């Protein structure tokens, strides 16, 4: 689809396809109609334009979000005309208005296309040739010296500028939007083209638009996820797509393609992948299906593509992005920002806000595959306690099971006595989580393995194409069947067996692994069927897939099977009906964050993996899945004291903190190392536990407002010299207050890092620097991570202990960091840490803090939880330039209990009830 689409305004000044203007306020009168580089908006020119593309999805991602900074109106060379009244478009005037120029194979417009503007006409991995390329009506012009077509190379086979596509046959107004009817003008090179398409453009909110391209004559698969749909006619004018000169719109039965120009080469996201935060635009291709393996400067908008079929996205140097998928429809949601935080908020408003985790889930988690039974498990638990390591949750990998069978444990051999171990954890205020894989063994003698027998009885397993029997794959227990989690009986089935196991081993959460679903054989034990569903004309790199579930085509199963991770009200009954829990899932999909968290999968005990974890965690916070972490110290391979210690320092700032490694490797729990290493790891854990009230507050804000817990630097600082903040992916922020600069290389005591333009306080020595915004050497001492606090914040803290259960009994403190003008603000959320409906039932406390003119005050916004005494004992105020002459607390003059040194005011020995208004004044 060529040219651009404009977002409807409140006056329906909206959308434009080539030179068809349906109520469009701005359009171009030049012959070429190509946008030029002088992008303007209200007279502003040459501003930074940044794009973030996010494909958040299962495993490697399937669904697209496009964040753009510096959204623009297109200005043509000759004129830009404003239409002040709606334009009536008659179908008779549109018959020959092609979205793409007519194809002339004899004289293709190829030679004038710069290499960086080539759009790949041969997306297949192999088989390109001049004959095949030209048969598609495309240009063949080898580039470079290699005869091999590789990912990242300049395409040899690419679309000419006059490649045909669809034409508009009519445009009409529909409820809250517009509908364009498109007719295919010539066959594509893909089988079973859809001849007629509808493009529906509907305003859903003031900041959200839905653009849906679909076949009106046939029902096609659409993702069965619940979205918070709305409609409005109040929408601000906004340019959405500029697809002129891009890969053409194609809509065949098993090949869909949509290309659009981007306004910047700053591209992020593209689903879960191992790599830098900033994605290369050198024709980078990323496959997305779950498998085991602008109005003003710096403004943002986002695009969310709802499609769960196998998908590939290609990013080109122009820059542009091309979506290709094997089926479904093209269902885009556009979010108008204007800030990056706003875009994430608008996205999570649509898919659902992330869940509020229990307080204990933010503590330290410990796991390994290969404890050697309950004896080894007890040894590690005792070792951690003896070392006084903060430690909340113990996990088990698959070795606890009997023969790797779900909902069992090895009760007669190695893990005899596991229920007693779990009870001991509970007695110490700790928690227990175990792994569950969705593959259910079918090889046990009949009547000996109830989960399989019951699954057959309830008919919940995915069936072979003829529906005669369950399809059989192979995972850890051997041959297995897979529950169809869209089957109406599946939820009750899963609950029944989870509850039965919980009655024996009272777990506190579930770890869902292998839920892409993973399969150790291609397709099934019968192999890959030879049909068009398993062998579509185009497929991203991967493997064949199982036959369909009850509601989805086969290439979709790999992206929605993770619904196993979704808790239901029944699941909550397992834990007593009114307690929050966590589910940590390997495979994810948009809306996963509403119910669950994620870990980044198996990694390695290597320094590179410490770095790769940072882009991964930042990406998932943009995807609306903030409870995310990596396997600290590395899963595969043996760690070492320096690597594990540095990783523990970094991991202390993961939203989800778990140390985990594999069978056969050395122990890497913190208490297994030498005393000096233990001390540094303990300090990192104590720092995290001290900060938990602030982290918990960030999760509350994320839950009710949608802003990320972990944020890239440019979310807070979009303006930076040479756009440095957009390129930093070795640092990140907790909320808007803490800047974390970890060490990700061996034997490193100084490292290049960025300090944004602001006042920053060193967490440890409490000194400050007023930064102009610079890259420079940061101190990276072995003793602790580099942690900076932004000036102008109030952070709630709590004295730490070895569990969150004990920590919650301790008094609170406040850290105040003043700006150069002496101001600061912050807030604190608090509840009982575990009740399921604390927020909706109004059983929580919310307190705002404000500092100005030498006065700290608090406002109790809501007081609904009184189950604990919330006592403020200590206040640290940084940046107090002049020594106070007097201090009053709620009108009472302090004669002792405070100190002042090096611009730091410490007020000690308070016994203030934080649920009462607080006023502290200091006179200078």
| Residues taking part in catalysis | 513, 516
- Given a contact cutoff of 8 angstroms between Cβ atoms, the answer to whether 612 and 274 are in contact is yes
Checking DSSP bridges between strand 177-184 and strand 40-41, what pairing results, if any? unpaired
- Given a contact cutoff of 8 angstroms between Cβ atoms, the answer to whether 729 and 278 are in contact is yes
Rg over alpha carbons for the chain, rounded to the nearest Å, is 29
Nearest to 421 by CA among 386, 387, 361, 371: 371
Distances (CA, A) of 190 to 122, 334, 535, 655, 709: 11, 28, 13, 45, 44
Checking DSSP bridges between strand 509-512 and strand 431-436, what pairing results, if any? parallel
Q: What is the rounded distance in angstroms from the CA atom of residue 410 to the CA atom of residue 374?
A: 10
The region that residue 896 occupies, defined by phi over 0 for left and psi between -120 and 50 for alpha, beta otherwise, is: beta
Q: Looking at residue 193, what DSSP letter applies?
A: B
Beta bridge partners of 64: 55, 305
User: What is the edge-to-edge ordering of all strands in the sheet holding 284-288?
Assistant: 250-252, 255-261, 320-325, 311-316, 284-288
Q: What angle do CA 88, 93, 94 make, to 5 degrees?
A: 100
Nearest to 734 by CA among 850, 842, 815, 819: 815
Q: What is the rounded distance in angstroms from the CA atom of residue 411 to the CA atom of residue 414?
A: 7
Composition of the chain by helix, strand, coil, percent to 5: 20, 30, 50
Distances (CA, A) of 680 to 604, 674, 856: 22, 10, 34
Q: What is the rounded distance in angstroms from the CA atom of residue 775 to the CA atom of residue 497?
A: 55
| Helix intervals (H) in 291-368 | 340-351
The region that residue 528 occupies, defined by phi over 0 for left and psi between -120 and 50 for alpha, beta otherwise, is: beta
Structure-block tokens of residue 158? 């690419």
CA–chain centroid gap for 150, Å, is 29
Nearest to 710 by CA among 687, 690, 740: 740
* 814: three-class secondary structure by DSSP: strand
Q: Looking at residue 604, what DSSP letter applies?
A: B
Burial class (CB in 10 A: 0-12, 13-18, 19+), 23: buried
Beta bridge partners of 876: 815, 906
Nearest to 903 by CA among 874, 924, 873: 924
Checking DSSP bridges between strand 330-335 and strand 300-305, what pairing results, if any? antiparallel
Nearest to 304 by CA among 51, 53, 50: 53
Q: Alpha-carbon dihedral of residues 519, 525, 531, 536, nearest 10 degrees?
A: 20
Q: Which residues of 595-627 are buried (b: 16+ CB within 10 A; e: fewer)?
A: bbbbbbbbbebebebbbbbbbbbbbbbbbbbbb
Torsions phi, psi of 54, nearest 5? Answer: -120, 130
31: number of Cβ within 10 Å: 9
- Given a contact cutoff of 8 angstroms between Cβ atoms, the answer to whether 351 and 590 are in contact is yes
Element (H, E) at 805: helix 804-807
- Given a contact cutoff of 8 angstroms between Cβ atoms, the answer to whether 308 and 201 are in contact is no
């Amino acid at each position: 689809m060529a040219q651009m689409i404009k977002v409807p305004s409140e006056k329906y000044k909206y959308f434009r396809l080539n030179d068809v203007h349906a109520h469009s306020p701005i359009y171009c009168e030049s012959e070429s109609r190509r946008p030029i580089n002088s992008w303007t908006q209200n007279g502003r020119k040459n501003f930074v334009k940044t794009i973030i593309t996010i494909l958040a999805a299962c495993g490697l991602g399937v669904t697209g979000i496009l964040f753009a900074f510096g959204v623009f109106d297109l200005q043509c060379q000759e004129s830009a005309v404003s239409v002040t009244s709606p334009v009536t478009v008659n179908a008779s005037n549109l018959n020959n208005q092609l979205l793409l120029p007519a194809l002339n194979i004899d004289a293709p417009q190829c030679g004038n296309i710069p290499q960086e503007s080539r759009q790949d006409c041969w997306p297949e991995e192999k088989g390109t040739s001049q004959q095949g390329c030209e048969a598609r009506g495309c240009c063949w012009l080898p580039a470079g010296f290699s005869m091999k077509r590789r990912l990242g190379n300049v395409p040899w086979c690419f679309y000419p500028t006059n490649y045909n596509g669809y034409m508009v046959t009519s445009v009409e107004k529909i409820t809250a939007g517009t509908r364009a009817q498109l007719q295919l003008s010539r066959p594509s090179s893909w089988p079973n083209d859809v001849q007629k398409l509808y493009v529906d453009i509907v305003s859903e909110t003031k900041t959200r638009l839905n653009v849906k391209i679909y076949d009106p004559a046939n029902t096609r698969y659409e993702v069965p996820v619940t979205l918070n749909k709305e409609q409005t006619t109040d929408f601000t004018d906004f340019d959405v797509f500029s697809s002129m000169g891009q890969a053409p719109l194609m809509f065949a039965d098993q090949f869909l393609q949509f290309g659009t120009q981007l306004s910047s080469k700053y591209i992020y996201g593209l689903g879960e992948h191992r790599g830098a935060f900033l994605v290369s635009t050198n024709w980078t291709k990323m496959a997305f299906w779950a498998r085991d393996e602008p109005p003003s400067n710096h403004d943002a908008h986002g695009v969310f593509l709802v499609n769960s079929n196998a998908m590939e996205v290609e990013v080109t140097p122009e820059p542009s992005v091309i979506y290709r998928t094997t089926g479904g429809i093209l269902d885009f949601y556009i979010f108008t920002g204007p800030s990056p935080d706003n875009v994430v908020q608008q996205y999570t408003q649509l898919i659902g806000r992330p869940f509020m985790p229990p307080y204990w889930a933010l503590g330290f988690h410990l796991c390994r595959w290969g404890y050697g039974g309950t004896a080894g498990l007890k040894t590690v638990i005792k070792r951690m306690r003896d070392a006084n390591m903060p430690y909340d949750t113990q996990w088990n990998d698959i070795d606890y099971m009997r023969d790797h069978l779900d909902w069992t444990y090895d009760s007669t051999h190695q893990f005899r006595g596991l229920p007693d171990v779990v009870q001991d954890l509970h007695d110490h205020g700790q928690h227990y989580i175990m792994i569950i894989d969705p593959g259910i063994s079918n090889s046990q003698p009949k009547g000996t393995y109830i989960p399989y027998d019951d699954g057959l009885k309830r008919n919940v397993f995915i069936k072979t194409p003829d529906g005669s029997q369950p399809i059989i794959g192979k995972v850890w227990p051997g041959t297995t069947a897979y529950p169809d989690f869209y089957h109406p009986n599946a939820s009750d089935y899963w609950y029944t067996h989870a509850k039965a196991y919980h009655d024996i081993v009272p777990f506190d959460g579930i770890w869902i692994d292998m839920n892409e679903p993973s399969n150790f054989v291609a397709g099934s034990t019968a192999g890959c069927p030879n049909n068009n569903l398993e062998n579509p004309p185009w497929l991203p790199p991967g493997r064949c897939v199982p036959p369909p579930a009850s509601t989805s085509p086969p290439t979709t199963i790999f992206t929605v099977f993770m619904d196993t991770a979704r808790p239901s009200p029944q699941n909550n009954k397992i834990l007593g009906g009114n307690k929050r829990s966590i589910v940590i899932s390997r495979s994810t999909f948009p809306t996963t964050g509403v119910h669950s968290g994620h870990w980044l999968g198996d990694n390695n005990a290597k320094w590179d993996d410490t770095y790769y974890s940072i882009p991964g965690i930042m990406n998932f916070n943009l995807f609306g899945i903030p409870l995310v972490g990596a396997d600290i110290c590395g899963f595969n391979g043996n760690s070492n004291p320096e690597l594990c210690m540095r990783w523990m320092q970094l991991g202390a700032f993961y939203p989800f903190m778990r140390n985990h490694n594999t069978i056969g490797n050395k122990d890497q729990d913190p208490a297994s190392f030498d005393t000096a290493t233990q001390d540094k790891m303990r300090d990192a854990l104590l720092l995290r536990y001290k900060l938990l009230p602030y982290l918990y507050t960030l999760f509350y804000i994320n839950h009710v407002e949608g802003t990320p817990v972990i944020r890239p630097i440019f979310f807070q600082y979009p303006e930076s010299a040479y756009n440095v903040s957009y390129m930093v992916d070795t640092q990140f922020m907790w909320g808007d207050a803490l800047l974390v600069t970890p060490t990700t290389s061996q034997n490193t005591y100084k490292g290049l890092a960025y300090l944004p333009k602001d006042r920053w306080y060193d967490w440890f020595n409490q000194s400050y620097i007023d930064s102009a915004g610079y890259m420079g050497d940061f101190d990276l001492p072995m003793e602790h991570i580099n942690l900076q606090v932004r000036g102008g914040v109030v952070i709630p803290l709590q004295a730490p202990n070895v569990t969150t259960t004990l920590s919650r009994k301790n008094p609170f403190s406040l850290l105040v960091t003043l700006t150069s003008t002496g101001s600061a603000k912050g807030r604190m959320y608090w509840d009982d840490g575990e009740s399921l409906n604390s927020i909706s039932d109004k059983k929580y406390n919310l307190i705002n803090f404000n500092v100005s003119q030498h006065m700290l005050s608090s406002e109790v916004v809501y007081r609904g939880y009184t189950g604990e005494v919330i006592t403020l004992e200590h206040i640290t105020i940084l940046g107090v330039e002049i020594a106070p002459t007097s201090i009053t607390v709620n009108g009472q003059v302090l004669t002792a209990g405070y100190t002042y040194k090096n611009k730091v005011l410490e007020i000690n020995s308070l016994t203030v009830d934080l649920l009462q208004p607080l006023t502290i004044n200091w006179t200078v």
